[in-house]
Structure 1
Amino acid sequence: MSNVSQITSPDVELRVLVYSHDAGTRSRVMSALGTRPHPDLPRLHYTEVATAPVVIEHMDAGGVGLAILDGEAAPTGGLGLAKQLRDELDTCPPILVLTGRPDDRWLADWSRADAAVPHPIDPLRLREAVTVLLEDD
């Protein structure tokens, strides 16, 4: 387990950036994960973002422990944004992308995302992917 997963104090929070132009998608992600998707992980604190420039601004500023990017977001999709962040940031937190369908996993690989979960969002699958990412971080 990583340092992140060993920090289980209720006072410790991990900042999760959730990007989608669709407020419903952002809400489903946050609902699926809740404040603590696994007892070995710190509490999650969400930053909701609806536009790519604001994602870049937050990521440049630092302090994000996990980015969840909607590959179906418009006008800037999360897959291209994930690739851009990987290419441009010296230090990049784990990135999970939401793909349009399971067959789009190859796009997630191209984007250099650490994990992918397809739409519609399955809460169990999303929690499992986030837990694995944060345990490995």
Structure 2
Amino acid sequence: MQGYNVLMIYDKEMTKLLMCERLKEPYKGLRNLVGGKIEEGETGLEAAYRELLEETSITAEDVTLHHLMDFTYYHLKCFVEVYVGRLNRNVSVSGDENILYWSGLDQNFYDMSLYAGEGNIGHMIEQVNLVKGRLFSAAT
């Protein structure tokens, strides 16, 4: 079964979420979270930090990732590990795989005409909202 990760990166104030516009399939042209494949021999967390650095230039010193949840797609023979983090400081993001931008949290992330993931992004944001007090107790 192939593993993937998806990374929910919030700004320091927890008011914006790092998103991308997909430049290739799947979901070309739709808004999405960053992430990628878990390579053979990597733990999920190692892969999450590697993908984060490759796609955004955000380092492990900039953010602490927390394993939030998983999705398993048995008929597609894959699983997705979801990680969430709040930046420790303001950083510049850059990458050439997709177009990166900071989104406000007042969007309809369930709108499948705009967002990838069949509504999962909205669901994941709701899950973060349930536990962010415990994960990010120092959030201001």
TM-score (norm 2): 0.27
| The structure with more strand, counted as a fraction of residues | 2
Q: Normalising by structure 1, report the TM-score.
A: 0.27
Q: Higher helix share goes to which structure?
A: 1
